[in-house]
Structure 1
Amino acid sequence: MSQLLSLDIPEHARSVRLRTERGVFAALDVPPAGHAPARGTALLVPGFMGSKEDFLPMLPALSADGVRVIALDCRGQYETGDASPTPSYSQEDLAGDLVAVTRSLGAGPVHLLGHSYGGSLVRTAVIATQADPALWASVTLMNFGPGAVSSWQRERLHLLLSVVDSMPLAEIWQFVRSQGQDVPEDVERFLERRWMSNRPSQLAAVAQHMLGETDTTADLARLAIPVSVISGTPDETWDPDGVERMARQLGAGFVRIEGGGHSPNVHKPAEVASALIDFWLTRHGAAVA
């Protein structure tokens, strides 16, 4: 599960419903702060069991540097729900949602970022569209590895799959909630409410996707798009060394954030925001040495 320590939202952020050709999606829309000149738009995609709120700690810094940020609840997650009357949770359809959302913004090409499983959707969307420059200005993969998750995470996914179709989410919550973390009570209540809002069919489908993830790094590497990779450490889901090797194969900019864990966007938000601004607005597309 993605981690969260605070629910502080920038005053100028708006909760919005994005109407697209593929359904309606919940998002946070955060324009550039104050008199900051507009310097592009970023679409942030959360991981498994996550939501748009995962990116809250980074939003003030990104907004202050002139980036408009759209943080998304994917289909089946939290406030988006099914998004449409006949939802599909195939990986291709979830990635297709990102294309529809981007087109609905009418903001030109966006900087696309995927955290954890969100990285898989981002990679799939970019490959499926052949890195269409009318859609994507760049792509960032954060704490997402080239292929299968760790054996420890695979065990957890198999356990979830064994109960998600037969046990109420309220009962499963006791097993998936974060253990041993000093989480404020309001955040704990939010995390439980978010978990209860997930669609069980989406949880099952995404768990299967993560278990069957294949390495399509070479397909992404062939495309003409600036790529960056961010890896918080330690991470028990994808080995940070494997993530760095993926970055080298992609010829991508690479930033390792010590102490960021699996959610550097939460534990080291200033470092992540700085790396993103550096990539998006200055060293755009510089390759790892």
Structure 2
Amino acid sequence: MSTPRFVSLPPGVRRTTVETPRGPFAALEALPGSGVPERCPALLVPGLTGSKEDFLAVLHTLAASGRRVVAIDMRGQYESLGPDDASAYTRAALGFDIAAVMDALGPDPVHLVGHSFGGLVCREAVLAGAAPASLTLMSSGPSAVGGQAAAKARALRDAIPQLGMAEIWALTLEPGYLGRGIQREIVAFLKARTLGNSENGLVHMSEELLTAPDRVDELAKHCADTDLRTLVLYGEDDDVWDPRLQAAMAEGLDASRVVIPSAAHSPAWEAPETTAAALRDLWSDTERTLK
């Protein structure tokens, strides 16, 4: 679980709701200083146990280049409501949600960024027909997680039905955060986020993370056929998907690749300026070809 750099909102960022035919999605929105976007918008999608707040450190910087930037909670995450129905949390269903949010942010094409499990969801959206201006897979892999990351996802999936998130928070998560010296204000936010998640959503999304197939070849063909610009971005010390796997994925996709120094699995808050610069470069280059 990642820890946001900020709990309060920085200047120029506001809480809002994106309304879609598939339901409302809680969001953070940043606009350029003029208030008038002149470039394509961007949509940022968090990972399994994350939320829109994971992108707080980059939202204002990304919007300053002249665009509307929106980060959302996916269905069942934190402040976006989710049903108990397991079918709502498949990668495909969540991908349709992302496509609906992209449509709501139009009419200009949307730069799409998916972090971790959010990258797998964004991949599904694209392969199902969503047409972003560009696609960034941030700290996301070619298929299901393995190793310690898989063990953690299985533990979460199996513990929730037995204990519930309130008990998991009290027994393991809160003591861990406090033991690491994390500020109580941030711990309070993390508690609200943890307990705000749909428990069924976490169970089923964990299973989706554990069973995701390798679709690199399909995505590579799609990108080649549609000229979709793709970036694979990750921290040099990523401990969820091995950086070597992500490098191989970038090669298989014929995608650009940026490795963020001194970052692990959450470069958007571990190295926000470097991460924002890489995204701005991709987006600006892409927009020159769209004109």
Same fold (TM over 0.5): yes
Q: CA deviation at 1:8?
A: 4.0
Q: Report the equivalent of 2:282.
A: 279
1:84 & 1:22 partners in 2: Cα distance?
15
Q: In the alignment, does 2:146 pair up with 1:143?
A: no
Q: Report the equivalent of 1:267.
A: 270
The gaps in structure 2 that reach 5 residues or longer are: none
Q: Report the equivalent of 2:166.
A: 170
Report Cα offsets for 1:224-260 as digits up to 9, x if no partner.
2110010112111100111011001111110001211
Aligned 8 A contact 1:2 1:47 in 2: no
Q: Report the equivalent of 1:117.
A: 117
Aligned 8 A contact 1:24 1:83 in 2: no
Q: Which structure carries more helix by proportion?
A: 2
2:220 & 2:241 partners in 1: Cα distance?
19
Aligned 8 A contact 2:31 2:64 in 1: no
Q: CA deviation at 1:271?
A: 0.3
Q: Secondary structure at the match of 1:192?
A: helix
Q: CA deviation at 1:282?
A: 2.7
Equivalent positions of 1:90-239 (< 5 A) are: 90-129=90-129, 131-132=130-131, 136-173=132-169, 174-176=171-173, 179=177, 181-223=180-222, 224=226, 225-239=228-242
- The amino acid that maps onto 1:98 is I
Q: Report the equivalent of 1:60.
A: 60
Q: Structure 1 residues 86, 108: CA separation in 2 closer, same or farther (over 3 Å shift)?
A: farther
Aligned 8 A contact 2:164 2:199 in 1: no
Report Cα offsets for 1:128-170 as digits up to 9, x if no partner.
11x53xxx10100000011121311111122112221121211
Q: Report the equivalent of 2:6.
A: 6
Q: Which moved more, 1:158-167 or 1:95-104?
A: 158-167
Q: Secondary structure at the match of 1:222?
A: helix
- The amino acid that maps onto 1:168 is G
- The amino acid that maps onto 1:156 is K
Q: Structure 1 residues 220, 285: CA separation in 2 closer, same or farther (over 3 Å shift)?
A: farther
Q: Report the equivalent of 1:243.
A: 246
Q: TM-score, normalised by structure 1?
A: 0.91
Q: How many residues align?
A: 282
Aligned 8 A contact 1:30 1:63 in 2: yes
1:259 & 1:150 partners in 2: Cα distance?
23
Q: Structure 1 residues 248, 140: CA separation in 2 closer, same or farther (over 3 Å shift)?
A: same
Aligned 8 A contact 2:84 2:200 in 1: no
Q: Secondary structure at the match of 1:4?
A: coil
2:260 & 2:144 partners in 1: Cα distance?
22
1:36 & 1:241 partners in 2: Cα distance?
41
Report Cα offsets for 1:17-73 as digits up to 9, x if no partner.
111111111111211124786222000000011110000000121111112101000
2:165 & 2:210 partners in 1: Cα distance?
21
Aligned 8 A contact 1:22 1:83 in 2: no
1:211 & 1:265 partners in 2: Cα distance?
24
Q: TM-score, normalised by structure 2?
A: 0.90
Q: Which moved more, 1:73-82 or 1:146-155?
A: 146-155
2:37 & 2:17 partners in 1: Cα distance?
25
1:239 & 1:87 partners in 2: Cα distance?
29
Q: Report the equivalent of 1:253.
A: 256
- The amino acid that maps onto 1:282 is D
Q: Secondary structure at the match of 1:166?
A: helix
- The amino acid that maps onto 1:163 is A
Aligned 8 A contact 1:81 1:197 in 2: no
1:65 & 1:226 partners in 2: Cα distance?
19
Q: CA deviation at 1:201?
A: 0.6
